[in-house]
Amino acid sequence: MARKQDRDPVLRDRLVELKESTGMNWRRFAEYFDIPYRTVQDWGRGERVMPEYLLRLMEYKIRMENLDTYAD
């Protein structure tokens, strides 16, 4: 399957907002979810599309562990 840059900017934007809501940097965010840093970096840049179900699980985990304390 050919890669298209920024195939889903909505998912990318949601990921960036989620990361920012935690106050973590990209490296710490990747470590927290035990996902390779390069993968998370590619998702954040829109170079790869992350699975939507994974983003939903990440959002859920952040909410359940009250890590979104930096959210407005």
Answer yes or no: are the C-beta atoms of 37 and 65 closer than 8 Å: no
DSSP 3-state assignment of 28? helix
- Cα 24–Cα 27–Cα 30 angle in degrees, nearest 5: 90
CA distance 5 to 30: 21
In 3D space, the residue among 52, 68, 24, 22 whose CA is nearest the CA of residue 43 turns out to be: 52
Return per-residue pLDDT of the chain as tens, 72 residues: 444 545 678 999 999 999 999 999 999 999 999 999 999 999 999 999 999 999 999 999 999 998 776 554
